[in-house]
Structure 1
Amino acid sequence: MADNTEDKKPGKSSTKAAQKPAQNAGLGLEGLGDLSSLLASPAAPEGGSGAPLELELALIDEDPNQPRKQFDENSLAEMAETIRERGVKTPISVRPNPKVEGRYLINHGARRYRASLLAEKVTIPGFIDPDYTEADQVIENLQRDALTAREIADYIGRELANGKKKGEIAKAIGKSPAFVTQHAALLDLPEPIAKAFQSGRCKDVTLIYDLVGLHKKHSEGVARWLADADQEITRGSVRLFKEFLESGLSGEAEEESGDDEGNGGASDDAGAGEEKEPKEEDPLKLKKAIVQVSHNKRPARLILNKRPSRDGVAWIKYEDSGEETEADLGKVQLLALLEG
């Protein structure tokens, strides 16, 4: 095996490319974890000091024994877009391929390598580190800490304070405008939602953003709902809670009406109460029935206003995903009948 180092030629076709210092530094995102490169200085070179080399992608192979096996295609596409715009900011690390002279195996940076190929790049900045083992790869993956949602929000807040627009920030970090908007909402959360987020009770940024929207219209209802420590905050529960609030049955409207009558009858119907007795409600009658069921061991509810295609089936809506489908009633288990 050839003794390839940073000072020796890696191969005939790569003499210039492998020893050419990198000139373009850009933003390469390794998932959310690589957002840390926006907040700190680039990592120090492995296996020596100085500028990284520009390594030919055609001479680089992925390590077949690397511990990381799964790569999200959408995340790779986002990273490829940032690499097209600004290049790779954090160099990868490689070592000489012991089986093929003049080629390299990736120590770390497989995602940046794959995204660079998607971006149709020819070279990638990197360092040659022969002293790298499989144990080092495992340690790196175990010790890599992604930025928290709050840390991402703080970065977005600083960029907004510097006059950047959300669309510009989204493009710079290779994320959607919705991603930036949702994280920006974490900068000024209403108190009950802030407690739920900071305590770790709800870590889903999308759900927090949805709750902020509900709080703007139903602040008291959201505060009461979150005050129940036993209330789970999931996509299904928030969806049902939203429908409950929007149905007008949450009690907020009734409380406001009662306040008006107590303050001298300021409501439009204040004078009509003497002529028309309020209709007594039937305590056994449900205003809005919600039939909770289980199908294929998944929580769901019957959709009562959607006509089934044939007898023996009914439309149901899964609580965990919102998906609607027709189900055989013989395979649907009735769990509860609630008032919406």
Structure 2
Amino acid sequence: MSAKPDKKPQEAAVAPKKPGGMGLGGMKLSGLLKPQAATVADSALKELPLDVIDEDADQPRLEDNPGFRPEMIAEIGGTIKARGVKQPISVRESPDAPGRYIINDGARRFRGSKWADKTTIWAIIDNDFVPDDQVVANIQREGHTAREIAKLIGQRMASGMKKGEIAKRWGKSNAYITQHAALLDLPAPIAQAFDSGRIADVTLVNELVTAHKSNPQEVADWLADESQEITRGSVKLLREFLQDGKERDPNTVDAFNDKTDAELDSEGEGEGDVPPKKKTEPKEEDPTKIKKAIVQVEINGDLCRLILTKRPSDGDVAWFKNEVSGEEFEASLASAKLVALVEG
């Protein structure tokens, strides 16, 4: 019978368990101090120097993607400088350069870390990577809606935080916080349009709120038209129309006496102590203004219209509607050839 092999030195150094104990003699306390991301296998999680990481040249987001704008990277960098990177990026080992890594997911956190003058970043090594992984991650990462952001701001303000504190904590501008805070107390017709998804642009909401302060009924009537597309162009035309001023139609029935302005004028004539009401001519509409604009384009030989009320999945695409079949689809803006601008 052969002799048993000697124990390995590291095994011999471990003290035996004591009866009734928890067997912690061989445990290193440093293992309890790893970041929360260490739920991934230790071998997959590493703190890597930024200078050994490269961005994926074939990633689906182009360099002109809105998420890569300098101000966006500066916002991310500001939060990283103050709070660090809370979620590791994902990388894979470079097949062409041993010791280097290519980003699977987290290019903005990587750029933000550089902006914040960091030298390392936590990364999960994931060599089981396919290009579609990036597409799925970008499509599914919708983030908070403007209404959700407003609710969060309201909660922070209720706890005693100032808008400036929230802006600094979130790495956003004061104007961004103020605009979203305005969503907490909207006039009813604007709130209804916003909650239903007809308005998604916070800037448009604030422009409508401004118009509503001086012309509440006109704005409410304008929003009541469900066929009205709410875009930056249409809201601009609405505000210009309201600012130009308009006389009331003399045939409009007064809600208090059930008589038109014309009837009241005729009743006032001949009464010496009551001067007749001055008649006003209805103002002619400006023929150069378009109440509802329709942008027609040609895509693959088909006549289509640009849908301005449906949010695209990326900055270089948009939603279109085939004028013949009625089919709605998403396509690249570069593939659309402008045909005409008509009034709906």
Q: Offset at 1:288?
A: 7.2
Are the structure 2 counterparts of residues 334 and 135 from structure 1 closer, same or farther at C-alpha, using a change threshold of 3 Å? closer
Bigger CA drift: 55-64 or 123-132? Answer: 123-132
Find the counterpart in structure 1 of residue 150 from structure 2: 153
Find the counterpart in structure 2 of residue 81 from structure 1: 78
Extract unaligned runs of 5+ from structure 2. 1-29, 260-267, 297-307, 309-339
TM-score (normalised: structure 2):
0.61
State the distance in 2 between where 1:179 and 1:61 align: 32
RMSD: 4.0
Does 1:63 pair with 2:56? yes
Q: Offset at 1:95?
A: 2.1
Letter in 2 for 1:55: L
Q: Offset at 1:298?
A: 8.3
Letter in 2 for 1:211: L
Q: Offset at 1:85?
A: 2.7
State the distance in 2 between where 1:118 and 1:246 align: 45
State the distance in 1 between where 2:272 and 2:242 align: 27
2:183 corresponds to which of 176, 186, 191: 186
Q: Secondary structure at the match of 1:93?
A: strand
**Conserved 8 A contact 1:46-1:129:** no
Letter in 1 for 2:156: E
Bigger CA drift: 158-167 or 184-193? Answer: 184-193
Does 1:281 pair with 2:274? no
**Conserved 8 A contact 1:96-1:105:** yes
State the distance in 2 between where 1:122 and 1:129 align: 21
Letter in 2 for 1:281: T
Q: Which has the larger radius of gyration?
A: 2
Find the counterpart in structure 2 of residue 105 from structure 1: 102
Find the counterpart in structure 2 of residue 239 from structure 1: 236
Q: Offset at 1:112?
A: 0.9
Does 1:137 pair with 2:134? yes
Bigger CA drift: 160-169 or 123-132? Answer: 123-132
Alignment: residue pair count = 253
Letter in 1 for 2:273: E
**Conserved 8 A contact 1:88-1:124:** yes
Identical pairs, percent: 48
Q: Secondary structure at the match of 1:292?
A: coil
Are the structure 2 counterparts of residues 335 and 111 from structure 1 closer, same or farther at C-alpha, using a change threshold of 3 Å? closer
State the distance in 2 between where 1:155 and 1:211 align: 23
State the distance in 2 between where 1:62 and 1:203 align: 32
Find the counterpart in structure 2 of residue 227 from structure 1: 224
Q: Offset at 1:66?
A: 2.3
Q: Offset at 1:58?
A: 0.8
Q: Secondary structure at the match of 1:85?
A: helix
Extract unaligned runs of 5+ from structure 1. 1-19, 26-41, 263-269, 300-319, 321-332
Q: Secondary structure at the match of 2:142?
A: coil
**Conserved 8 A contact 2:295-2:342:** no
Does 1:292 pair with 2:289? yes
Deviations along 1:160-195, one digit per CA (max 9) or x if unpaired, are 111111111112222221211221222232221121
Find the counterpart in structure 1 of residue 319 from structure 2: none
Q: Offset at 1:49?
A: 5.3
Letter in 2 for 1:219: P
Q: Secondary structure at the match of 1:155?
A: helix
Letter in 2 for 1:200: G
Find the counterpart in structure 1 of residue 117 from structure 2: 120
1:205 corresponds to which of 189, 192, 202: 202
Higher RCO structure, 1 or 2 (CA under 8 Å, sep 6+): 1
